[in-house]
Chain A
Amino acid sequence: MTAAARPKRRYQHFKLSQDPRNELNFYGSGEASPYAPVLDVIETMSPAHLKNRQERLDRGARDLGVHFNVVDEAKPREADWRLDLFPRVIPREEWEYLSAGILQRAKALNAYINDLYNEQGILKQRMIPPEVALSDPAFQRPLTTVGVPDSQYCHLGAFDLQRQGDGQWRVLEHHMATPFGLSFVMQNRRMLAQGFPEVFQPMDVSPVAPFISQLSENLRLASHKDNPHIVLLTRGETNQAYFDESFLARQLGIAMVRPADLLIRQGKVYLKTIRGLEQVDVIYRRLASSAIDPIAFAESGYLGIPGIVNCVRDGTVKFINALGCGVADNRALLRHSKALIGYYLRENAILDTVTTYNCGDIDQFDYVMSHEEEMVIKPIQDSYTLHKYLGGQKLPESREQLLRLAQKWPHLFVAQPYQHPSQMPCFKDNTFQTGSVFLRVFFQLGAKPTVLPGGLTRQSWGRARQNPLTIMSDGMKDTWVPAQPYEFNSARNTITLDPEDFSISSRVAEALYWTGRYLQRFENTARQLNILETLRWDQLGKSAQRSFWPLWKAVATANGQSDWSKRKSPPKDTLSITRALILKADEPASINASITAAYFGARQIRDFISPEVWQVLSDLYFYIKDEAKRTRSPRGRLRETCQRVVDDAARLSGTAERTMLHDDGWQFFRIGSFVERSQGTAIMVREVLNWTLQYSADNQEDEADLTALLRLLSSLDAYRREFRSRAYLDRVAHLLLQHPANPSSVSHCLRQVRYALGTLSINGLPTNTAELNKGIETAIKDVETLALFQLVPNSVKEFDRGEPDTTPTPPRPELSKILSHITSELDQLHELIEDAYFSHQSEFYSENQLSIELQPGA
């Protein structure tokens, strides 16, 4: 830009500050300053104008729906992403120096990782104290016997740097295992370009997108296959890291998976999807090594994928970064950075390191203790890795508590003197204020080592960060490096995820299936208990109690209460069992337990559930927890609870229907609820008919109240419309088992399941569904061809002929056996679904286990 075209600087947003730590002063205020082009733009804008730009940036963050902190259920969602409109600029020459220093250090640290897991030369030659390396919990001895191709452990890493008052850059931390925050750099660049395009006008900025393309390329190169299957392995919590991961997965065009999605079979790693098993070749991991394999790393106490380390050993899968990289992040190593670079590269270190004292060394710890006021105490690894080594405690926040832990486990802590990093103006409350800035720089090693131009600048008003997996920050800045001529316009398009290419994972399908089942289950239980409790058992006469007792027993059986279901005569009161079935958390089929299971199941797949559905479910969950805490729950209160659960269940189904995408996942949700409903109905019918058989065999007078049975199964109205008569056993049985239009009937539910399975977009793919299809066809046929008119002699016919209906012919004894067959068939249906889509057992048991033997009804 020529001087003539330069806009006039009309506003004086920046009074010349004398503070030597202010970055704007590092370069003077003249035209030579790298900030001159930015200042040119900003000084032409009025405060109102700037405010508008900042608001645009804030709105952009809100629209993205990104969150820095773990989402608090109790609080409404607020965007806490804050991108400052004033970018940070690092001049080209300075950047060249910085990136040379970063790559040098990264290579040395990679060599260190390799050395530690193999020769341990650096320890044998006593270049660093052996305990620094050997007492690091991230040093996983099982990995010493697992080879890494080309000794390339770290592929993607990051360093935290800061600039001090003297203008010198110093390294503060290493992140070579699971570096976090790359997506923030991408997002910030995108958002600033959209929200404040003017500021880019006078300068060509080095693009950040090619770094992602290169990462994608590197992941592909990690496998010798032409088109390897790559996944991103996450712990999957709804926090900052999760946002980072989902953004990267989308950019890289790879699926995001959790440990439970992966399965080891014959020495290979597979992703379980509803289309079948897909072999995984490369895993971009975002979990600490110790959380990867509970067998290899038994000490860590985390779940993971049992046996996956041995797949790495056999070379069937590759991790990026390689397992074990965490040893480079050991903060006790910072002090020895210079020695490391000298030892491995025979070079002098280009970049300095922030002074770090190792508490494991008695002399250094003495120094720390005598200067503790000036020190920041840090653990040598993140709290996830250290957890087990600190007696299972979480890392505390305060310096005093950390110091106390350091006295107990000195080798797990370091201390760094308080830093006074450089400062920059940040637009806050409609004016420019000054805050400290830190820089995280990302790099890639491998065939073509690269440093991402710029990085993540965080600004801080003085708070310290505890967890390296979060970026506690009062805001971020886009970070610019002026482009080199050839670099400009070199940004290739990044790949974006095509949803058609990905099948939902078995874990997600299974969780949705179970959410559907639990939803149906607590709805059933709540409705049934509500009806039974409305009878006011304690005020019923003996004979009324006897006619309702079979229904109670049926409900108890359907809810797995075998103690009650075996009881022949009714108890005096049913309040205690009602209370248990509603509120007791450790009663497996209680409403409380089912809601809790639905809630935690759904929480695992939050990103597949609409916020509206989640809201209803979590409200219900907190409600039932509060109810369970009450010391007294009288009958009236229990009925209110049931009513609320029934209402909320209806709200949940309705909200789900209206707000969720009706895709494959949705179908599993429906399948779950129909499977549960069919089982519920079948068990109730079986129990009540068994009772009838029993009493007729014993020649007793008691008869189950069939009207109440219809109400319990929401079918009374349907019965009245269909038959307009009092409840006869054969008609009731027909309506509940075979009627195609009764939503509670077994036949209807099975047809719905068959329909839903047919809509899945997985036809012709490897999942073996033949057994399942056969199973469901058989079940439908068995239910619908059941010769009820023979098994339950038609009492109505005789009545129509003018004969009294008081002595109905008893049902045939084989009915009991047939109904048991049907219920067990439904149980098997669940297993067939599980085998075909979730656990992929059907590939092993194609014939033997799944055949169902059923004697047909007549």
Chain B
Amino acid sequence: MRFKVTHTTRYRYKTPASESYAELRVWPQDGPTQKILSHTLTITPSVPVSHYTDYFGNKVEYFSIPFRHNELSVDAVGEVETCKGPDLSRILETPVGDARQILGSREPMLYDFLQDTELVPYTRLRSLIRRKHFRDAATLKSALHGLNTWIYENFAYSPGSTDIGTPLPTVLKTKQGVCQDFAHLMLAILRIHNIPARYVSGYIEPYDPDKPGAELTGAAASHAWVEVYLPGGHWYGLDPTNNQAAGVRHVRVAAGRDYNDVAPMRGAYKGAQDQRLQVIVTLKRRRPRNEETPEDTDE
């Protein structure tokens, strides 16, 4: 499926800002479930942009604006072709007990996806999560989707109820949150059970133009979900906000241990505290390439 993604971040400052500096993680990458057809990044005011690939393999852009400015905007526009990944159904039939054994002799690198992080401090949550989600005899599929459903059914999606500073224990108590809380919660439970998993940021197509009624939650902002490490070295995407596996309507951007590793934009500036942030994300389905007609009225 082909999408045109636009991700606009705009800061407005009441009094001029100077010495702005920012790092971006908004560049989707090729992978088993998607191919990037084009991508452009526009910074206003216009400044040179450099980039590098980080520890987790994400593409990072960075720039600085040393002079005074009242507004800073970042427009990332890309075209992405998503596809079904490799068929993992046989691996998902593996009993949890066996999987754990196989994962036991894993690469040391996976340790990164099993440890406490600032936003997923699971060792402190152990006592708060009583339910046993992973029994040895269950298949990976039933255990993982069971967890997905459990989060979906027990936690209310309520935008604005939390922000990035809301700790997981609060989410567990109030039983509500947004996609990033659910992803963090799922990571905590997976890691408690010694199953390596990572945080994924990206975009989602909120409704299916062909199938009215099949709305997905997480529109109008970046979406977040989870990928679980399966025996054989595959990462399997699960979206607890929508109670489904990540599919062709998910566009991946970056992955890491938690939100801190993948924040789409992180920056600093000198000037008064007074800033207004506006983020607009759109994801539009495009016709396959050969049928394409010019679409000028897109924006």
Contact = CB atoms under 8 A, between A and B. Distances in A.
Contacts of A141: 54-56, 112, 261
B68 interface: yes
B262 to A, nearest CB: 11
Interface string B229-259: 0000000000000000000000000000000
A313 B66 contact: no
B40 interface: no
A136 to B, nearest CB: 11
Interface stretch (A37-45, A75-83, A292-300): A292-300
A141 B261 CA distance: 10
B115 to A, nearest CB: 5
Contacts of A307: 21, 23, 62, 64, 268
B69 to A, nearest CB: 10
A264 B118 contact: no
B263 A298 contact: yes
A14 to B, nearest CB: 54
B50 interface: yes
A266 B48 contact: yes
A156 B270 CA distance: 34
A130 interface: yes
A124 interface: yes
Given A295-B268, A299-B260, A845 B67 contact: yes
A409 B115 CA distance: 12
Interface string A104-133: 000000000000000010011010001100
Contact of B267 (A123, A306, A409, A849): A306
Contact of B54 (A131, A145, A408, A409): A145
A349 B18 CA distance: 53
Contacts of B107: 124
A264 B123 CA distance: 39
Contacts of B287: none
Contacts of B117: 299
Contacts of B124: 408
A264 B50 contact: no
B270 A313 contact: no
A309 B201 CA distance: 24
Interface string B41-75: 00000001010111110000010101110000000
A296 B270 CA distance: 17
Contacts of B118: 299, 388-389
A131 B111 contact: yes
A295 B21 contact: yes
B22 interface: yes
B66 A142 contact: no
B160 interface: no
A130 B106 CA distance: 11
A310 B108 contact: no
Interface residues of A, number: 36
Interface in B259-293: 260-261, 263, 266-268, 270
Contacts of B66: 263-266, 844
B109 interface: yes
B30 interface: no
B19 interface: yes
A85 B93 CA distance: 76
Given A126-B108, A310-B50, A295 B68 contact: no
Contact of A120 (B56, B109, B115, B267): B109
B268 A294 contact: yes
Interface in A383-405: 388-389
Given A134-B112, A408-B124, A844-B66, A839 B18 contact: yes
Interface in B191-226: none
A419 B18 CA distance: 54
A341 to B, nearest CB: 21
Q: What is the predominant secondary structure among interface residues of chain B facing chain A?
A: mixed
B67 A839 contact: no
Interface residues of B, number: 35
Contacts of B67: 841, 844-845
Contact of A841 (B68, B260, B263, B267): B68
A849 B67 CA distance: 12
A310 B62 contact: yes
A135 interface: yes
A659 B165 CA distance: 48
A836 to B, nearest CB: 14
A314 interface: yes
Contacts of A409: 123
A857 interface: no
A266 B19 CA distance: 11
A767 interface: no
Contacts of A844: 66-68
B111 A134 contact: yes
B48 A295 contact: no
**Of B54, B116, B268, most A-chain CB atoms within 10 Å:** B268
Contacts of A130: 108, 111
A503 interface: no
Given A266-B48, A845-B67, A124 B108 contact: yes
Nearest to A294: B268
Contacts of B116: 135
A313 B270 CA distance: 23
B64 A266 contact: yes
Contact of B115 (A134, A264, A296, A388): A134
Contacts of A144: 55
A388 B116 CA distance: 12
B53 A264 contact: no
A120 B111 CA distance: 13
A762 to B, nearest CB: 21
Interface in A820-858: 839, 841, 844-845, 849
A500 to B, nearest CB: 29
Contacts of A126: 108
A303 B171 CA distance: 28
Contacts of B64: 264-267, 307
Interface string A141-155: 110110000000000
B21 A264 contact: yes
A442 B270 CA distance: 39
B135 to A, nearest CB: 23
Given A263-B19, A263-B66, A134 B108 contact: yes
Given A144-B55, A306-B268, A314-B50, A845 B111 contact: no
Contacts of A145: 52-55
Nearest to A122: B108
A134 B110 CA distance: 10
A706 to B, nearest CB: 36
A841 B22 CA distance: 19
Contacts of B23: 295-296, 307, 310
Contacts of B54: 141-142, 145
Given A126-B108, A388-B118, A142 B22 contact: no
A771 to B, nearest CB: 14
Contacts of B263: 298
B201 to A, nearest CB: 14
Interface in B102-140: 107-109, 111-112, 115-118, 123-124
Contacts of A265: 64, 66
A628 B270 CA distance: 31
Contacts of B268: 294-295, 306-307
7 contacts: A126-B108, A145-B53, A296-B23, A306-B21, A306-B268, A844-B68, A849-B68
Interface of A: 120, 123-124, 126, 130-131, 134-135, 141-142, 144-145, 263-267, 294-296, 298-299, 306-307, 310, 313-314, 388-389, 408-409, 839, 841, 844-845, 849
Closest 5 CB pairs of A and B: A130-B108, A306-B268, A141-B55, A306-B21, A307-B21
Given A263-B19, A295-B23, A844-B66, 19 more contacts: A124-B108, A134-B112, A135-B111, A142-B54, A142-B55, A145-B54, A263-B66, A264-B66, A266-B48, A266-B64, A267-B50, A294-B268, A306-B267, A306-B268, A307-B21, A307-B268, A839-B18, A845-B68, A849-B68
